[in-house]
Amino acid sequence: MILQHDNSVKPFFLSLAPLRGFTNALYRNLYAVHFQGIDTAIAPFINTLSAKQINRSHIKDILPENNHGMSVVPQIIGNDSEGFIQLATMCHDLGFDTVNWNLGCPAPMVANKRRGSGLLPHPESIEAFLDDVLPRIPTRLSIKTRIGRKKKEEIFKLLPIFNQYPLVELIIHPRTGVQMYTGEVDLSTFEECLPLLKIPVTYNGDIHDYDSFVKLRERFKTVSRWLIGRGVLSNPFLPEILRSGEENIPRSVERFKNFHDDLFEAYRAELSGQSHLIDKMKSYWLYFFRSFENGEILFKKIKKISTLKKYEDITGNFLGGDAIWRCSGRPALSIHPSNSACL
């Protein structure tokens, strides 16, 4: 619940976005131990494969025994309906009642094969896929989409198609695929979509702080579902802040340190070789540093680290001593990850 400027209390539903390489089961489990405010998480995508190739390691991230404390929706990427049906059925057998179809991934390697956002210019393929799949899967279906692959107008051919099906929700990240993560989110196009949709809509994109969230809520009054990715990665207190309206989180550095130390130890147990572990933690610091005063200076040092001893010394000294949380929850820099990542 959140107290709005007009003093009315309105509920909203907050989901953790799938961020491949980051919001995996290991992260989600620890997040649920240390922080609050997320209702559910969409897991990073799983590729459709032929029945012979699917084994438990392929779906390790969503296995119930690997997930504790956070409700999860598996996400599937692919354009072959048989593979999708097999995976969705497997998810159902594991106890999931909903799966999400990824129509947003912009990575050229994915999109050029007409998967993820690569399907968006082909409404007839999307319709045929949904016609084939929906009657044959035992789960419900939600979809995560961008507004187009190359052009924002693509979404308007898709909305009447989505409306034909009993989708749980349509999550819209209002960028095109070719935009990757550059440029602004296209709020006007998102706004135009709203009256055209008969299914529940979730907004996703660039929610980094309380003020940006309040502005979006005020503009899109009919939207009550929100999906947040990099904002949470950078500031894991963000869901608590959005729910309470209170930007000063007591003991934030201490709480963050406890989370960080658990994350580090969990990856130490999972990854073999110190360089894998260091690289993994560096990738998280690409986001973490933004929530600290002088985080840029720290991040420059972290980027140069090549031994675990150095990593533990530098982060330990910082989090145990000098660190000051940017209390507004507002990252100093805009968050645009490298476009080379498979997003």
Ligand X SMILES: Cc1cc2nc3c(=O)[nH]c(=O)nc-3n(C[C@H](O)[C@H](O)[C@H](O)COP(=O)(O)O)c2cc1C
Tokens of 186: 């296209």
Choices 129-137, 192-200, 222-230, 253-261 (CB under 6 A): range interacting with ligand X: 222-230
Angstrom distance (rounded) from CA 37 to CA 273: 34
Which residue number places its CB atom closest to ligand X? 229
Among 83, 123, 177, 205, binds ligand X (CB under 6 A): 205
Shortest gap between Cβ of 135 and ligand X (angstroms)?
24
Report whether 146 contacts 175 (CB < 8 A).
Answer: yes
The packing angle between helices 81-93 and 123-133, to 10°, is 40
Shortest gap between Cβ of 192 and ligand X (angstroms)?
19
Write the DSSP assignment of 115-145 as a string of letters. -GGGGTT-HHHHHHHHHHHGGG-SSEEEEEE
Choices 12-20, 127-135, 188-196, 316-324 (CB under 6 A): range interacting with ligand X: 12-20
Three-state SS at 145: strand
Cβ neighbours for 327, distance < 8 A, ≥ 6 positions apart: 247, 248, 249, 252
Where do we find the tokens 């497997």?
90
Among 3, 10, 21, 265, binds ligand X (CB under 6 A): 21
Q: What φ, ψ does residue 81 adopt, rounded to 5°?
A: -65, -35
Shortest gap between Cβ of 315 and ligand X (angstroms)?
21
Tokens of 272: 């073999």
Among 178, 187, 327, 341, binds ligand X (CB under 6 A): 341
Number of residues that bind ligand X (CB under 6 A): 24
Name the residue among 113, 131, 54 with its Cα closest to residue 88. 54
Q: Would you give the binding string for ligand X spanning residues 28-67, x where CB under 6 A is met?
A: ----------------xx----------------------
Which helix (H) or strand (E) element contains residue 173? strand 170-176
Shortest gap between Cβ of 103 and ligand X (angstroms)?
8
Among 186, 206, 209, 240, binds ligand X (CB under 6 A): 206
Closer Cβ to ligand X, 104 or 239, answer by number: 104
Angstrom distance (rounded) from CA 238 to CA 232: 6
Closer Cβ to ligand X, 73 or 305, answer by number: 73
Name the residue among 316, 173, 232 with its Cα closest to residue 39. 232
Three-state SS at 328: coil
20 binds ligand X (CB under 6 A): yes
Q: Residues 159 to 188: which contact ligand X by CB under 6 A?
A: 173
Among 37, 123, 231, 295, binds ligand X (CB under 6 A): 231
Which spans of this chain sit near ligand X (rule: CB under 6 A)?
17-22, 44-45, 75, 102, 104, 144, 173, 204-207, 228-231, 337, 341, 343
